[in-house]
């Protein structure tokens, strides 16, 4: 019998050991993969693992051809987006993903990604642009269409692999926010109803001013109409004079119509309408509601507003409501005070990216214990007050991206101040 070679024996043992090591590595790798799949499957967030190698190869060729503006390229080659939707494949999903799309089993969803973009087709292009530009993550609020035809609002997020990671490990997570958006819409409606109730309450408080303001143009119409009739009854008819009186009647009628429309706009219930606005003009409109009260109570009004101011972005009626409420508070405070000094001072100025509106009065001021609670709902210091005016003011100003504060003047009286972002610096909704 031939004697075994020591070298051959060593190699055999080494080979056997290597084979055993490889089997152990394969077993360990298989066990690791199994744990990884279980981890994905039981995650509480809907998750997709996607093989995006096809898109990666296509992008590599485009870069070699000198393409840098991928968004413009995809606009000119829509077929590439369509091809990607049919060639980029889902390789793994979890149970939350199946439940979100109302699928029957994971097998329903291990296929090309087109179904993910069925309700928001434009998102496929945006996802590709982010991938081409080397972003690590991309997120947008979108809609999906479930397999039984339901439309859901979601947050769609993609995490892309970066070299040297494998291109077959792109992850997509989708979070259903339909119920949250519905709750937010209901809350906005509740806030709108609350604000509407406050406006109606405010109109009740300024009813005397409104009646006086409407009475003025109506009285002018009557006076000019009677004068015109008098001139028409004369034998020496003065046509230019009658024309002048008739023009005054028409002007007064338009004035009355504008007043009624302004009151109707304040009273009507409607969705907020954001636009670019002149805060100085809004202040003037708000003053028209309370000017009679100011004059009848012999309150001096000082206004310090620059000739030119940047615009703000917001809802005209809501901002009028804030200023009217603050004016009414000042008028009522001064009326309760026995001081001979009766003054309201309004000022608007710029402060960086903000416009600052302030109003101070010569009333008794705010009790120190009430300062922290002044903007709370249903907190009031007035007899018979509802306690919603200042709460609504804070809600409106906060919704416009600003803030509102109250304090006391060292010389006496209350000082209210709110800020609003300039229109050009306010973020788009």
CA 278 to chain centre: 20
Most confident of 62-71, 198-207, 221-230, 393-402: 62-71
Residue 56's contacts (CB-CB under 8 Å, 6 or more residues apart) are 131, 167
The pTM for the full model equals 0.50
Listed in order, the ranges of the chain carrying CATH 3.30.565.10 are 185-421
In tens, the pLDDT along 193-211 reads 666 666 666 666 666 666 6
Q: Which residue has the tokens 């077993």?
A: 27
Q: Using DSSP bridges, classify how beta strands 300-304 and 343-351 pair: parallel, antiparallel or unpaired.
A: parallel
The tokens for 337 are 């005070």
Cβ atoms of 374 and 387 within 8 Å: the answer is no
Reduced to 3 states (helix: H, G, I; strand: E, B; else coil), residue 137 is: strand
Cβ atoms of 101 and 110 within 8 Å: the answer is no
> Percentage of residues in the chain with pLDDT exceeding 70?
76
Cβ atoms of 355 and 419 within 8 Å: the answer is yes
Q: Is the model more confident about 356 or about 291?
A: 356
379, pLDDT greater than 90? no
CATH class of the domain at 185-421: alpha beta
Cβ atoms of 361 and 407 within 8 Å: the answer is no
Of 43-47, 80-84, 90-94, 172-176, the poorest mean pLDDT is in: 43-47
Residue 252 class from Cβ within 10 Å (0-12 exposed, 13-18 middle, 19+ buried)? buried
Mean pLDDT of 223-229: 83
15, pLDDT greater than 80? no
14, pLDDT greater than 50? no
Predicted confidence band of residue 253 (pLDDT cuts 50, 70, 90): confident
Mean pLDDT of 21-47: 61
386, pLDDT greater than 60? no
Q: How much is the mean pLDDT over the chain?
A: 80
In tens, the pLDDT along 148-161 reads 999 999 999 999 98
Q: Is the model more confident about 378 or about 358?
A: 358
What is residue 369's predicted lDDT score, i.e. its pLDDT? 77
In tens, the pLDDT along 54-91 reads 888 889 899 999 999 999 999 999 999 999 999 999 99
What's the chain's length in residues?
Answer: 429
Q: Which helix (H) or strand (E) holds 223?
A: helix 207-232
Q: Using DSSP bridges, classify how beta strands 151-159 and 89-93 pair: parallel, antiparallel or unpaired.
A: unpaired
What is residue 177's predicted lDDT score, i.e. its pLDDT? 94
> Percentage of residues in the chain with pLDDT exceeding 90?
34
Predicted confidence band of residue 381 (pLDDT cuts 50, 70, 90): low
383, pLDDT greater than 80? no
Q: At the fourth CATH level, which superfamily is domain 28-176?
A: PAS domain (3.30.450.20)
Mean pLDDT of 341-370: 88
Predicted confidence band of residue 37 (pLDDT cuts 50, 70, 90): low
Cβ atoms of 80 and 121 within 8 Å: the answer is no
Q: Is the model more confident about 66 or about 318?
A: 66
2, pLDDT greater than 80? no
What is residue 358's predicted lDDT score, i.e. its pLDDT? 93
Mean pLDDT of 316-335: 86
- Rg from Cα positions in the chain: 36
The tokens for 21 are 């090591």
What is residue 75's predicted lDDT score, i.e. its pLDDT? 93
32, pLDDT greater than 60? no
18, pLDDT greater than 60? no
Query: What is the edge-to-edge ordering of all strands in the sheet holding 414-421?
Result: 300-304, 343-351, 354-361, 414-421, 403-408
Q: Which helix (H) or strand (E) holds 159?
A: strand 151-159
Cβ atoms of 260 and 214 within 8 Å: the answer is yes
400, pLDDT greater than 80? yes
């Amino acid at each position: 019998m031939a004697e075994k070679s020591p070298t051959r024996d060593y190699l055999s043992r080494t080979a056997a050991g290597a084979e055993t090591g490889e089997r152990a590595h394969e077993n360990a790798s298989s066990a690791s993969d199994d744990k990884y799949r279980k981890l994905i499957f039981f995650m509480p967030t809907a998750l997709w693992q996607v093989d995006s190698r096809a898109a990666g190869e296509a992008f590599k060729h485009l870069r070699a051809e000198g393409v840098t503006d991928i968004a413009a390229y995809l606009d000119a080659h829509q077929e590439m987006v369509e091809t990607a939707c049919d060639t980029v494949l889902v390789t793994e999903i979890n149970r939350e993903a199946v439940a979100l799309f109302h699928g029957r089993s994971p097998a329903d969803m291990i296929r090309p990604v087109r179904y993910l973009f069925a309700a928001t087709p434009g998102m496929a292009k945006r996802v590709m642009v982010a991938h081409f530009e080397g972003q690590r993550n991309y997120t947008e609020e979108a809609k999906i269409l479930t397999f039984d035809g339901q439309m859901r609002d979601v947050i769609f997020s993609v995490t892309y692999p970066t070299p040297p990671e494998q291109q077959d490990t792109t992850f997509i997570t989708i979070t259903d926010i339909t119920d949250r958006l519905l709750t937010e819409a209901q809350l906005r409606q509740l806030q709108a109803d609350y604000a509407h109730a406050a406006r109606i309450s405010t109109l009740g408080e300024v009813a005397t001013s409104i009646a006086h303001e409407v009475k003025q143009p109506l009285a002018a119409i009557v006076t000019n109409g009677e004068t015109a009739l008098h001139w028409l009854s004369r034998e020496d008819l003065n046509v230019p004079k009658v024309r002048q009186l008739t023009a005054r009647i028409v002007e007064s009628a338009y004035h009355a119509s504008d007043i009624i429309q302004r009151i109707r706009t304040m009273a009507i219930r409607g969705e907020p309408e954001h636009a670019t606005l002149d805060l100085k003009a809004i202040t003037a409109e708000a003053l028209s509601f309370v000017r009679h009260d100011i004059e009848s109570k012999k309150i001096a009004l000082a206004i310090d507003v620059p000739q030119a101011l940047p615009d703000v972005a917001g809802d005209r009626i809501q901002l009028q409501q804030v200023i009217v409420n603050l004016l009414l508070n000042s008028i009522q405070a001064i009326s309760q005070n026995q001081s001979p000094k009766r003054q309201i001072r309004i000022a608007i100025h710029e402060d960086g990216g903000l416009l600052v509106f302030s109003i101070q009065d010569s009333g008794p001021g705010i009790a120190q214990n009430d300062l922290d609670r002044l903007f709370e709902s249903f907190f009031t210091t007035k007899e018979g007050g509802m306690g919603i005016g200042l709460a609504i003011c804070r809600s409106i100003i906060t919704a416009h991206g600003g803030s509102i504060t109250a304090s006391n003047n060292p010389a006496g009286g209350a000082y209210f101040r709110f800020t609003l972002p300039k229109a050009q610096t306010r973020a788009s909704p």
